[in-house]
């Protein structure tokens, strides 16, 4: 399994809470048999000590183990966040 890209990334909250960022997106996931387009919602919370917590909510049904999928999505989201690709 591989995360190919996140498309239609939108920030859905623009509140005064500067340490919380919530996004919706479509994850294009390459599975052994086919590629799927999975709607997701994720929140990045910056902690007081400089780290961040990531929460991922899968919006669609998928016939694949969830734990490895969440792990790969988490790695991909953290990578694009550190590269500055996510909208502000």
* Model pLDDT for residues 23-81, shown as the tens digit of each residue: 999 999 999 989 999 999 999 999 999 999 999 999 988 888 999 999 999 999 999 99
Is 72 part of a structural domain of the chain? yes
| 22-85-63 Cα angle (round to 5) | 60
Host domain of residue 36 = 2-82
Is 16 part of a structural domain of the chain? yes
Confidence of residue 18 (pLDDT cuts 50, 70, 90): confident
Is 61 part of a structural domain of the chain? yes
Residue 84 DSSP code: T
Predicted local confidence at residue 17, as pLDDT: 82
Query: How far is residue 85's CA from residue 88's CA, in Å, rounded to a whole number?
Result: 9
On whether the CB atoms of residues 76 and 6 are closer than 8 A, the answer is yes
Predicted local confidence at residue 61, as pLDDT: 87
Is 87 part of a structural domain of the chain? no
C-alpha to C-alpha distances, 58 to 19, 25, 48, 51, 86, nearest whole angstrom: 22, 10, 27, 23, 18
Total tally of structural domains belonging to the chain: 1
Is 7 part of a structural domain of the chain? yes
Predicted local confidence at residue 3, as pLDDT: 96
| Number of residues in the chain | 88
């Amino acid at each position: 399994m591989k995360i190919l890209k996140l498309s239609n990334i939108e920030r859905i909250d623009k509140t005064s809470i500067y340490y919380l960022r919530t996004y919706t997106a479509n994850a294009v996931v390459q599975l052994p048999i086919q590629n799927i387009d999975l709607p997701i919602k994720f929140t990045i919370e910056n902690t007081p000590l400089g780290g961040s917590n990531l929460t991922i909510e899968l919006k669609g049904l998928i016939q694949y183990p969830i734990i490895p999928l969440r792990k790969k999505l988490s790695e991909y989201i953290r990578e694009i966040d550190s590269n500055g690709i996510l909208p502000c």
